Amino acid sequence: MSDRIDSSGASPASGAPISAAPLEPTGAPGASDPSARPTLLSLTGVGRRYGARWVLRDLSLAIASGERVALLGESGSGKSTLLNLIAGLEPADTGEIRIGGRAVHGLDPDQAAQLRSTELGFVFQAFHLIGHLNLAQNVAVPLLLQGMARRPALERAGALLARVGLADRHASLPRELSGGEQQRVALARALVHRPRLVLADEPTGNLDAASAGRAIELLRDEIAASGAALLMVTHSQQAAAACDRRLTLDASGLRDLA
Ligand SMILES: Nc1ncnc2c1ncn2[C@@H]1O[C@H](COP(=O)(O)OP(=O)(O)OP(=O)(O)O)[C@@H](O)[C@H]1O
Ligand SMILES: [Mg+2]
pLDDT at 26 over 70: no
Residue 155: its H or E element? helix 150-163
What does the pLDDT read at residue 33? 61
CB 133 within 8 A of CB 34: no
CB 82 within 8 A of CB 59: yes
Q: How many CA atoms lie within 13 A of 132 on its CB side?
A: 5
Q: Where in the chain are the domains? A: 35-257
pLDDT at 13 over 50: no
**Cβ–ligand 1 contact at 80 (below 6 Å):** yes
Cα separation, 223 vs 27, whole angstroms: 9
**Cβ–ligand 1 contact at 81 (below 6 Å):** yes
Q: How confident is the model at residue 28 (pLDDT cuts 50, 70, 90)?
A: very low
Of 114, 130, 99, 128, nearest in space to 228 by CA? 99
What does the pLDDT read at residue 34? 55
- Of residues 27 and 191, more confidence is placed in 191
The CA-atom distances, in angstroms, between 169 and each of 17, 126, 142, 191, 242 are: 31, 20, 19, 18, 28
What does the pLDDT read at residue 49? 97
pLDDT at 10 over 50: no
pLDDT at 72 over 80: yes
Give 78 Cα–ligand 1 centroid separation in angstroms: 5
Rounded to the nearest integer, the mean pLDDT of the chain is 86
What does the pLDDT read at residue 74? 95
pLDDT at 120 over 80: yes
What does the pLDDT read at residue 114? 86
Q: Report CA 220 to chain centroid distance, whole Å.
A: 13
**Cβ–ligand 1 contact at 77 (below 6 Å):** yes
Q: How confident is the model at residue 29 (pLDDT cuts 50, 70, 90)?
A: very low
Cβ count within 10 A of residue 149 = 10
Q: How confident is the model at residue 239 (pLDDT cuts 50, 70, 90)?
A: very high
What does the pLDDT read at residue 20? 32
Cα separation, 53 vs 188, whole angstroms: 35
**Cβ–ligand 1 contact at 79 (below 6 Å):** yes
- Of residues 258 and 82, more confidence is placed in 82
Q: How many CA atoms lie within 13 A of 109 on its CB side?
A: 9
CB 211 within 8 A of CB 165: yes
Give 82 Cα–ligand 2 centroid separation in angstroms: 9
- The protein residue whose alpha carbon is closest to atom 6 in ligand 1 is 50
Q: How confident is the model at residue 126 (pLDDT cuts 50, 70, 90)?
A: confident
Q: How many CA atoms lie within 13 A of 56 on its CB side?
A: 28
Could you tell me which residues are beta bridge partners of residue 233? 71, 201
pLDDT at 220 over 60: yes
CB 120 within 8 A of CB 197: yes
**Cβ–ligand 1 contact at 163 (below 6 Å):** no
List, for residues 130-156, the tens digit of each pLDDT value: 999 999 999 999 999 999 999 999 999
What does the pLDDT read at residue 35? 59
What does the pLDDT read at residue 22? 35
Share of the chain above pLDDT 90, in %: 65
State the fold for domain 35-257.
Rossmann fold (3.40.50)
Q: Which residues surround ligand 2, an ion (CB under 5 A)?
A: 80
CB 129 within 8 A of CB 183: no
